[in-house]
Structure 1
Amino acid sequence: MEVVKIVMIGITGVLLALFLKESKPEYSVYLSFAVGICILGYAVEKLSYLFESIKKIQEFLPVDEKYVLVLLKMTGATYIGQFSSSICKDAGYAAIAGQIELFVKLYLMVLSLPVLLALVETIHNFLL
């Protein structure tokens, strides 16, 4: 039922932005930003469930906490990058949106390197 609520907020925001775009185009960007923040607020509420689930996984599997932290950082960076990029595209700044997307991709690669190095080290130790 929450998905329907979020979809309705999004569709309402889009329809209002379309009406405003003809008379006051600068306000349609602000409205888009506000609707995006509202939806992001609902998504943040789900983080507590995500953290509880990750703690349960850590209880069942011996996963190092730093890898879980990397996973959470990667998820957060992806959401924030996508949100920011979409706002820039809506405002008509596709070039800046592309730069944000590029930076987020590079950031995710940098974040994933310690996990990759640990995997390579484990494989190396296994082969010796």
Structure 2
Amino acid sequence: MDIIGIAGIAVLAAVVAAMLRRYHQEYAVLISIAAGVVILFAIFSGVQPAVSQIGKLLSAAGLSASYTVILLKTLGICFLAQFAADACRDAGENALASNVELAGKIAIIILALPLFEDIVQTAAKLAGA
């Protein structure tokens, strides 16, 4: 799906959600979440060429394939946390949205720990320790 289709889905969902929000807040939130899921699937269906190109670039640079996996998982966590936080904000739950964002940040730090370990080991080798 191209950007025109994605924008059309977003605008249509926003209009329907705005009309429903007046009488049925819960349905408006569900419409927004459903449209967001459809848009995410549309985006992710076309992302495979970019993922393979990133893998090629990292392997050409001599980096481990595990770095590619960490990078892609980190991007997934970012997108998922942002989507969930935005859905919570649409439902009026700002505190819950902040908690989701914090959980995403912590998940990224935990996921990146092997990279930090490699950096520390490389620095120790360069320092001669």
TM-score normalised to structure 2 length: 0.91
Runs of 4+, deviation exceeding 4 Å: none
**Is the contact made by 2:55 and 2:68 (CA closer than 8 Å) also made in structure 1?**
no
Structure 1 pair 59/67, CA: closer, same or farther in 2 (3 Å)? closer
Query: Secondary structure of the equivalent of 1:23?
Result: coil
Distance 1:35 1:121 in 2: 45
Matches within 5 A, 1:1-128: 2-128=2-128
Distance 1:102 1:59 in 2: 32
What 5-or-longer segments of structure 2 have no aligned partner? none
Q: Deviations over 1:60-98 (max 9, x none)?
A: 221111111111110000000001111111111111111
Q: Which one is further off, 19-28 or 76-85?
A: 19-28
What 5-or-longer segments of structure 1 have no aligned partner? none
TM-score normalised to structure 1 length: 0.91
Distance 1:55 1:67 in 2: 9
What is the Cα-based RMSD across aligned positions, in Å? Answer: 1.5
Structure 1 vs Structure 2: percent identity of aligned residues? 28
What is the number of residues matched between the two proteins? 128
